[in-house]
Amino acid sequence: MNEPIPVSRAVDGGTAKLMPDLDRPHAWLLTVDGAPQSYVDLDDPVHLEFEYARRIAHVLDAAADPGDPLDVLHLGGGALMLPRYLAATRPGSHQVVIEADRGLLELVAEHLPAPSGAGITVRPQDARTALESAPEGSADVIVADVFGGSRVPAHLTSVEYARAAARALRPGGWYVANLADGAPFAFLRSQLATYRTAFAHLALIAEPSVLRGRRFGNAVLVASQSEPPVAVLARRAAADAFPARVEYGAALERFMGGAAPVRDEDATPSPEPPDGAFSVG
């Protein structure tokens, strides 16, 4: 049998590469300009290589009774890592995936197409435009994993954006976002303050070393109008290969400090990661 061959192609956001994982016969890593975007195992869609993706999956697992379908809006597509996971764990779910990079969509459709009948619809569109045009109360969960290179775009970090997310969710729905920052956490704290303007409850899932400021890394934000199942999320995050902690309530308020919400006119992208923080070459 022929060995899988890496693929490299210029896309709208830079140079995308699909690299096979030689330890898993049908698994692929997608990078854009060296920054990891997705890891997909076509034989095992519930295998999530990225720790932040596992933390988002914990939220998806807890969003409804096991196996019950969900209506999910994904902002950021990559190689459809989390949509594939949800289609496998919650058959019958209706998922809309928004990805602004048309070249990336074409690459993924050619080499790693979503399984037919999986209930996954992919649209080439800006994430904020799609969110603002989504029907009110149409989503059980919104998953935001949008990075321009290694940074969250500025127009997805404001009060106006957060309020659009809250409007698109059903009562009891959850907004889940992959963010990245390091000490002194000016961006992450401002994001918490921003989402506080639109949601009654916030939680943050991250490795203790990130929360203590020892390194730059991912933090998963969970926002909702109802109290999230903190104990369930904490148990699952603690059991991961790289254990994470769930900050909620008074501890999260202390972490937020006196940070101010960010409006459109003041919004900036998330910080540039230090060299080597995420890059795989």
At 140-185, the pLDDT tens digits run: 999 999 998 789 999 999 999 999 999 999 999 999 999 999 999 9
pLDDT in tens, 187-204: 999 999 999 999 999 999
pLDDT(280) > 80: no
pLDDT(279) > 70: no
C-alpha distances in angstroms, 193 versus 7, 132, 156, 249? Answer: 41, 21, 14, 13
248 — pLDDT class (breaks 50, 70, 90): very high
Which tokens in the block code for residue 227?
A: 């109290």
Percent of the chain residues past pLDDT 70, beyond the cut:
97
Q: Residue holding tokens 């896309």?
A: 11
C-alpha distances in angstroms, 32 versus 79, 116, 156, 162, 165? Answer: 11, 26, 20, 26, 26
Per-residue confidence (pLDDT) for residue 281, from 0 to 100: 41
pLDDT in tens, 31-48: 999 889 999 999 999 999
pLDDT(275) > 80: no
Report the run of H or E that residue 231 belongs to, with start and end: helix 230-238
Q: Which residues contact 254 (CB under 8 A, 6 or more apart)?
A: none
- Region 249-265: mean pLDDT is 96
